[in-house]
Structure 1
Amino acid sequence: MRIVASLTSLSLDDELTRRNMSDGNTTSRLGGLIAGLKQRGWVEGVNYRFEIRSTFGGPDKLKSAVQELIGLKPDVILTGSTIETAAMLGATRTIPIVFATANDPVGNGFVDSLARPGGNVTGFTSSTAEMGGKWLQLIKEAVPDIARVGVLYNPATTPRAGRFFLDSVEQEAAAAGVGVVPAPVSAPADIDAAIGRFAEPPKAAMISLVDSFLVVNRQAIVAAAAKYRVPMIYPFHYFMDAGGLMSYGPTLEVRSADYVDLILRGTKAGDLPVQSPRKYELLINRTVARTLGLTIPFTLLARADEIRE
């Protein structure tokens, strides 16, 4: 019986986790993994066992979840974020690791290169550094009269403490004549005040960076943005499901089953190239826009992959 292990930053009670693991949900990360493995001859409970642990609850919980999975001596470990991948690599340099999403894997020291990772890890990137500038362009197009943009992130859980995306945000903002105001948060209690700062003049909008902490606290972030009537663009559709205004990010492609299967059959993780997103999608909620008093330009709506009402 082979063991496939997974580490998630979400609580196992989180709605997103439950939806991901529900039977038949092949479009979610975990559901797609299990379905993909089945297509390749791996049947859960027959020739492999699936084990998942949550890191939700702070550094001590992360450490204990990592140790629990290591203790199972799994054949491969699937991680869901940059922080989890770093924690796993700190605990093992022999068990194969596949990161389902990670930013800047070379800069973080996970792999030697995208084409030839080396070591015991490979996987899939979710965003490039240039995404920061793209988010600024899109939110400026939706709210043309903004004078400043706030950038929400947790320095402990976003790539390079935020600088991975901030550089391109600042470059684009300078060209557009918009001021950039970093809005770091380190605890859920910080979210309301961090967003509330941008409700007062001069006119502002916000960008939510790729950050596992923000995903975990997406409901509170979207609620605060609605409370203070601050337009915000998000990196994942998860925020749209919580009632967000707009998102731009990679289309979810569940490809991890390919790599998990190859590793279970003997391929070394370090021999499998890191793959980048093949498509990005723009989602806009026109009802949320109206509640904020925004009229989204037709030119932006025409480029949207999905318009929600």
Structure 2
Amino acid sequence: MIKRPVAPAVARRDFIRLAGATAAGFLALGATSDRIRIVASITSLSLDDELTRRSMTESATTRLGGLIAGLRQRGWVEGVNFHFELRSSFGGPDKMKAAVAELIDLRPDVILTGSTVETAAIIAATKTIPIVFATSNDPVGNGFVQSLAHPGGNVTGFTSSTPEMGGKWLQLIKEAVPDIQRVGVLFNPASTPRAGRYYLDSLEQEAASSGVAVVQAPISTPAEIDGAIGRFAESPKAAMISLVDSFLVVNRQAITATAAKYRVPMIYPFHYFIDAGGLMSYGPTLEVRSADYVDLILRGTKAGDLPVQSPRKYELLINRTVADSLGLKIPFTLLARADEIRE
């Protein structure tokens, strides 16, 4: 027997409120009423994680909330003509395997994935159920799609960065901390694109031209965070870069706290880290566009016929209070370019 729902009761009520409408309403919006569709999603975060709870209660400002709100605008009302199913892969390989199996057993009409790791696991489990990845950094290199313009198969979605981001992160952190002689690169080889090489090539190229030494800091367990960051508190002067990595997002609180503990300046790829007390971030502006593709697929469009889309805008966030605590005076030229300055 299929177990439903998994999401916390309060969050699910908020989701239904967010979707809110009547059967007459969805018919007026043009959605088909022949049967209840199933939209499924998998996340690497725990269902108790703050980001997961926020996604379940906010609208256009979060990925899942924006999806539900966007589907409602297109005539799909949760609990009326479709059901939303969320599973978490948090907890290790066995949990991942179980979460994937549960979603496949639901026989959903479309599956929305949140990270490269989850996307790979779902693709390995089905070649027929349509898959939309909300974020993927190297979908061609990972074998998810044949090309960005013509994905083919049962998969499409949205990329969240490019290989050149590695060099850009180094430029920004060096501008914030001009006297660094080395930069540590934090990542988990198992969950970052191409085991880190996707970004390291451009990062190392930029480092060579700016006279900064690149020191890789790979980790695979939360217990390794302290040691990986702590060694950059010693001379010569260093800063750090966090790569795009679902493992690091899950452990963002521990990472930002450890960076503060050792007074190590670090730049991150997502605003989630700034929310957790990080110094600065540079990455794609959150645009919840997955509802467009999920709607088209529910109406019969093949996932492989929909081109993979890239970010349309990037944003720079700086926390000046954190900078002050680290004894940094962020140059005005950098502050002037920030999309948001937090105090």
Give the match's secondary structure for 2:132: strand
The residue number in structure 1 matching 2:100 is 66
Q: Percent identity?
A: 84
Between the aligned partners of 1:306 and 1:127, the Cα distance in structure 2 is 20
Superposition pairs of residues 115-264 of structure 1, within 5 angstroms: 115-264=149-298
What 5-or-longer segments of structure 2 have no aligned partner? 1-35
Q: Write the distance in 2 (CA, Å) between the matches of 1:127 and 1:62.
A: 25
1:276 aligns with 2:307: no
Query: 1:15 maps to which residue?
Result: 50
Note the C-alpha offset of 1:130.
Answer: 0.2
What is the distance in 2 between the residues matched to 1:271 and 1:8?
25
Match runs of 1:60-99 below 5 Å: 60-99=94-133
Q: Letter of the aligned partner of 1:116 in structure 2?
A: H
Query: What displacement does 1:66 show?
Result: 0.3
* Gapped regions of structure 1 (runs ≥ 5): none
Relative to the length of structure 1, the TM-score reads: 0.99
Instruction: Give the aligned residue type for 1:172.
Output: E
What is residue 66 of structure 2 aligned with on the other side? 32
Distance 2:50 2:311 in 1: 25
Q: CA deviation at 1:25?
A: 2.7
Cα distance in structure 1, aligned partners of 2:94 and 2:186: 25
Q: Quote the residue 1:6 is aligned against.
A: 41
Q: Is the 8 A contact 2:131 2:156 kept in 1?
A: yes
Q: Determine the C-alpha separation between the residues in 2 that align with 1:27 and 1:93.
A: 31
CA contact 1:80–1:100 (8 Å) conserved in 2? yes
Partners of 1:265 and 1:208 in 2: CA distance: 39
- 1:85-123, CA deviations, whole angstroms, 9 ceiling, x for partnerless residues? 000010000000000000110000000000000000000
CA contact (8 A) 1:19 1:25 kept: no
Indicate if the aligned counterparts of 1:119 and 1:270 stay in contact, CA closer than 8 A: yes
Distance 2:227 2:257 in 1: 12
What amino acid sits opposite 1:161 in the alignment?
A
CA distance in 2, matches of 1:125, 1:199: 34
Structure 1 stretches of 4+ moved >4 Å: none
Q: Give 1:45's aligned amino acid.
A: G
Give the Cα–Cα distance (whole angstroms) in 2 for the partners of residues 55 and 107 of structure 1.
23
Mapped partners of 1:221, 1:173: distance in 2? 23
How does 1:40-59 map onto structure 2 within 5 Å? 40-59=74-93
SS of the aligned residue for 1:151 comes to strand
Decide whether the 8 Å contact of 2:59 with 2:68 is kept in 1. no
